[in-house]
Amino acid sequence: MGFTFSQALSGLDAAAQALDVAGNNISNANTTAYKRSRVSFADVYANSISSSSNNPVGLGVGVESVGRIFSQGGLTNTGNNLDVGISGDGFFVVRDTRVREDVYTRAGQFSVDNEGYLVTSGGQRVLGFEADADGEITADAGQALSELRIDVENLPSQKTTQVDVRFNLDADSELIPASTAFDHTNANTYNATNTLTVFDAVGGSHTLTLYFKRIETGQVATSAGNGGSRWEVYSRLDDGIEGYLGGTSTETAPSEPKMLLEFDGTGKMSGWALTSDGGPTYSTADGTRTGVPLTAGATPTRGTVYAVKQENAQSLPEIDLKFTLPTFASDPATGDASAASNPFTFRLTLGDKDFLTTQYVDNFAPQFLQQDGNSSGALSGFSLDDQGQLVVRYDNGITAVKGQLALANFRAPDELRSVGGNLFIPTPGSGQARRLPPGFVTENGRLGTVKPGTLEESNVDLTQELVKLIVSQRLYQANAKTIQVQSEAAQAILTVV
């Protein structure tokens, strides 16, 4: 009977803490990414394992721990392109700029502050892996994280230096007689044409037009009886500017640059050459191509027909083009002019080592286009994608990757300590964070993935918490009743005395 008051008091304290935990869970039922808490109880005894006495009556109950349950919350769509939820394990890494400390959260309500930094709703800066100038991201567990930031400055212009394009030339195209001189204003002097945009050194856009002229049919491959055909490729800039060949010091005066494409009887490119008006003619010897595959960076010899290979030593059909842009004159009425440096040069390649321009019975069409260069552009938008990459968009159509979110995992996440504001810090029990890109596979399992345009809901089950509230209330009442009975018993003893 002597322990009854302490037993009941311990029960009241435990029930009160259970009420507090349930009440806190209920109050955070709508808190983004909130993780519910659970209280664990343990009985209390006065004797120890080493004691010879055996008191079967305990001293009551104690609160052993109040822990977090990091089960997955539901993901709800928000339509905000900077909201992001985590599906699976992991925490966003953010930095409290007041104390320069890294903390962790599951709440992905992000925005951009007035300095361009990606921040949480509490103002902490979001950390991740920074992209290089080409938008490439290298990420590993030992890499230092950076504060993700969007530059508000205009994207600078970039000169075009390389154009890679691949076509299919229709094998049913008519042969144009060799006596018919090419004239870009006369559609009867070529079979097909295609245009694309290139950019000079100050970001000015220019239209490059390629013209394709079928010049002969018959045996052009090495093996006898293997039919094929040849095409000439001409170019013009801005619908009239003739170019001249680059890459050699002797090409100082404008001259009509063109390429020769040679196809065998299967529609595959078998050889190519380059020349200019007034230069050497295309040379073959007894139907056999002259020349050998070019090594990377080598300058082709005009007039030589080079064999095309698609393995090891690669000979790609390419030409260095130079164009003289119109310059400013003292009379502003002279027409369009460019402030870019002259000449305007870039390399044109008709295919790559795996896929070259082809000649099949099908409509003429570009099948691949890749080029560098762009005009300047102003920032028009930004978002997070499903890989956690921060992607910015400019009004010139360019998109660029500025960085990638990092996710952290812990060996024992339930040992993390909450510091409020949906933030957690590691403890000795949780272990140190491993910070990697979303979806990365570690020895502790696979990191979660991110879902842009969503937020993780609280994992609180209101029905379950209300039941716990009722049970804790009953426990509190029962322990209070124990104290009442003990008091009445003590009063009865005093009355007898």
Q: How far apart are CA 376 and CA 383, in angstroms?
A: 20
- pLDDT band, residue 47 (cuts 50/70/90): low
Q: Is the pLDDT of residue 495 over 90?
A: no
Residues in Cβ contact with 231 at an 8 Å cutoff, skipping those fewer than 6 apart: 169, 191, 212, 213, 214, 215, 260, 261, 263, 359
Q: Confirm if 305 and 283 have CB atoms less than 8 A apart.
A: yes
Residues in Cβ contact with 250 at an 8 Å cutoff, skipping those fewer than 6 apart: none
How many alpha carbons fall within 13 Å on the CB side of residue 475? 21
16-20, 219-223, 269-273, 360-364: segment of lowest average pLDDT: 219-223
For 154-215, the three-class secondary structure string (H helix, E strand, C coil) is CECCECCCEEEEEEECCCCCCCCCCCCCCCCCCHHHCCEEEEEEEECCCCCEEEEEEEEEEE
| Tokens of residue 76, six digits | 């709800």
How many alpha carbons fall within 13 Å on the CB side of residue 432? 3
Q: How far apart are CA 53 and CA 55, in angstroms?
A: 6
Strand partners, 237: 208, 241
Which of 216, 239, 399 is closest to 305 using CA atoms?
A: 216
Write down the pLDDT at residue 155: 85
Residues in Cβ contact with 456 at an 8 Å cutoff, skipping those fewer than 6 apart: 32, 33, 72, 73, 74, 75, 85, 86, 106, 107, 108
Q: Is the pLDDT of residue 490 over 90?
A: no
DSSP string, 400-430: EEEEEE-EEE-S-GGG-EEEETTEEE--TTT
Residue with tokens 């890294």: 102
Q: Confirm if 100 and 462 have CB atoms less than 8 A apart.
A: no
pLDDT tens track for 278-291:
555 666 655 556 67
How confident is the model over 153-166, as a mean pLDDT?
A: 90
pLDDT tens track for 52-94:
555 566 677 777 778 888 899 999 999 898 999 999 999 999 9
How confident is the model over 417-422, as a mean pLDDT?
A: 89
Q: How far apart are CA 184 and CA 341, in angstroms?
A: 26
Please name each of the domains of the chain with its CATH number.
Answer: 4-71+458-496 (no CATH), 75-154+404-456 (no CATH), 162-371 (2.60.98.20)
